[in-house]
Amino acid sequence: MKRKHHGRVIDTSVRLKTTPMKAWEAWADPQQIANWFVDRAEGEAQPGGTMKWFFDAFNYALDVPIVEAEPGRTFVTGGGSQPGPDGLPYLMEITIKKDGDTTVMNLVNSGFSEKPEKDGSFRDTESGWHCALATMKLWLERYPDLRRRRTILMRPAPHQPERLQSLYATPEGRRQWLAPGIPVDGETLAQTGTEVLLDWPAERAALGLKSFGMGPQQMVALDLSQWSDTGADITAESRARLERALDRLVSLL
């Protein structure tokens, strides 16, 4: 079914070495979506029903009306009259299909204002989806039987985007603040202009180097997704290491 989209649209795809059903369950199963995207989720992916997504680090919960949920094929939320954050009808369509020995998943997310003053929030959302889908890909392909524990540390830090990217986007820039104890030359899983997602295989983890607006403040953050058998919290030593790195970053801005 072709659905009408309003306002600005995010349209992106990811190719996954998994089955269409596992890709669909990554959205539809509350236990699975917490392994790559939200901190917690509740509810069932049934058309006409509602799921609830929890983002604990931001003290935020989102009701997610389910429009369509065909196992292994589609997961659609919002609906033609569902208002989004910019007051426009909000719609997110996930379509999944088999392509040879891989699965292609496409995300179309609309309902974003076209006003110039909303450019920043739109870019933040677009960047967030690219990094989230890269996190999904890493989990499904490398750690599908493990549980994620997310740790996000934030600081208010006014900055120029060019300066921040010089510290995020290259090993030389990251070496000024991430080291010691955190790899600076890991594989880049995503790079969006405002965020970088690094592979950290020794810790079975992905580390996001993030920036975003929170009200009037500019924020920088480290966003760690780490997978284990139990989903246990990171150690106090690991948290302290990330805190020190973030403090060094702020001092350089």
Over residues 51-106, the pLDDT tens digits come to 999 999 888 999 999 999 999 999 999 865 557 777 888 899 999 999 999 999 99
Q: Which residues contact 122 (CB under 8 A, 6 or more apart)?
A: 8, 112, 113
Number of domains in the chain: 2
Residues pairing with 34 in the sheet? none
Q: What's the pLDDT band for 48 if we cut at 50, 70, 90?
A: very high
Range of the domain at 161: 147-252
Tens digits of residue pLDDT in 165-222: 999 999 999 999 998 889 899 899 999 988 999 999 999 999 999 998 887 889 999 9
One-letter amino acid identity for 20? P
Q: Quick check: is 88 in a domain? A: yes
What is the rounded distance in angstroms from the CA atom of residue 129 to the CA atom of residue 92? Answer: 12
HEC letters along the chain = CCCCCCEEEEEEEEEECCCHHHHHHHHHCHHHHCCCCCCEEECCCCCCCEEEEEEHHHCEEEEEEEEEEECCCEEEEEEEEEECCCCCEEEEEEEEEEECCEEEEEEEEEEECCCHHHHHHHHHHHHHHHHHHHHHHHHHHHCCCCEEEEEEEEEECCCCHHHHHHHHCCHHHHHCCCCCCCCCCCCEEEECCCCEEEEEHHHCEEEEEEEEEECCEEEEEEEEEEEECCCCCCCHHHHHHHHHHHHHHHHHC
Tens digits of residue pLDDT in 119-143: 888 888 999 999 999 999 999 999 9
Pairing of strands 147-156, 188-191: unpaired
Angle between helical axes of 119-142 and 20-28 (0-180°, round to 10): 130
Q: Does residue 199 share a domain with residue 180? A: yes
Q: Does residue 158 share a domain with residue 67? A: no
Q: Quick check: is 1 in a domain? A: no
CATH number of residue 242's parent domain: 3.30.530.20
Please name which of 118, 150, 131, 133 lies closest in space to residue 193, comparing C-alpha atoms.
Answer: 131
Q: Does residue 196 share a domain with residue 119? A: no
Q: Does residue 156 share a domain with residue 132? A: no
Q: Quick check: is 157 in a domain? A: yes
Q: Does residue 128 share a domain with residue 44? A: yes
Q: Quick check: is 74 in a domain? A: yes
Q: Does residue 136 share a domain with residue 12? A: yes
Give the model's pLDDT for residue 26. Answer: 97
Tens digits of residue pLDDT in 221-245: 999 999 999 878 888 888 999 999 9
Last residue of a domain, one of 82, 110, 142: 142
Q: Does residue 213 share a domain with residue 106? A: no
Cβ atoms of residues 225 and 233 within 8 Å: no
Last residue of a domain, one of 142, 169, 188: 142
Last residue of a domain, one of 142, 170, 195: 142
Q: What global pTM score does this model have? A: 0.93
Q: Does residue 152 share a domain with residue 98? A: no
